[in-house]
Amino acid sequence: MAAVQNSGKPLVKVGVGDTGFVSDFTNDRIAGKLMAMGILPGCAIKVVRRAPFGGGCYIKADNILLALRKDEACTILVR
């Protein structure tokens, strides 16, 4: 599960309204929790909006809505 070069770009780089597919996670602990919530490799994530006050982001993955911090969104690599 370690970060692999070229396995994708971090979710924070995805623009609002765009969708990416999860390719990898860079932090096992965060990955454990995200996977338990149903964010698995291959899952489509749409960045719906950014939080007020320059915080994290509001994402839609399959049929769940999720609030993530910026540094949490950094650990999700998408293609």
Partner 1 sequence: MEPFIKEPFRIAVIGNPNSGKTSLFNLLTGLQQKVGNFPGVTVERKTGHLIFPGGKSIELTDLPGTYSVYPTSEDERLVVQTLTDTQNTDYPDAVLYVADVTRLEKHLLLFTQVKDMGFPVILALNMSDTAHAEGLEINFERLSRKLGVPAVAVSGRTGEGIEQLKQILTDLSRQAPEGPSEHSVYRLSQEEARLATELQDLFPYLTAYQRILLAHHAGWLPHLSLPVRTKVLEAVERTGFRDLALQVRETMQRFDYFTPIVQQNLRKTRERPFTLTERLDNLLTHRIAGPAIFFLLMLLVFQAIFTLASYPMDWIESGISALSAWTKSVLPPGWLAGLIGDGLLAGLGGVLVFIPQIAILFFLISLLEEVGYMARAAFMFDRVMQAFGLNGRSIVALISGGACAIPAIMSARTISNWKERLITILVTPFISCSARIPVYTVLIAFVVPEKTVLGFFTLQGLAFMGLYLLGIAAALLSALVFKWILRSGGTSYLMLELPPYRPPLMRNVWITVWEKVRSFTMEAGKVILVISMVLWVLASYGPPGAMKNAQARAEQIAREKGLTPQESGALAASLEMEASFAGKAGKWIEPVIRPLGFDWKIGIALIASFAAREVFVGAMATIYSISDQEDLLLIRQRMAMEHDPLTGKKVYDPPTTWALLIFYVFAMQCMSTLAVVRRETLSWKWPLIQFLFMTGLAYLSAWAVAAFLPPPPPPPPSSPPPPHLATP
3 forms part of the interface with partner 1 (CB under 8 A): no
CB of 67 to partner 1, least distance (A): 4
36 forms part of the interface with partner 1 (CB under 8 A): yes
Type of residue at 49: R
CB of 66 to partner 1, least distance (A): 6
Give dist(CA 55, CA 38) in Å, integer: 23
61 close to 43: Cβ distance less than 8 angstroms: yes
Q: Which of 5, 6, 15, 63 binds partner 1 (CB under 8 A)?
A: 63
6 close to 61: Cβ distance less than 8 angstroms: no
Tokens of 48: 């719906």
Query: Where along the sequence are the contacts to partner 1 (CB under 8 A)?
Result: 1, 28-38, 40, 48-56, 58, 60, 62-69, 72
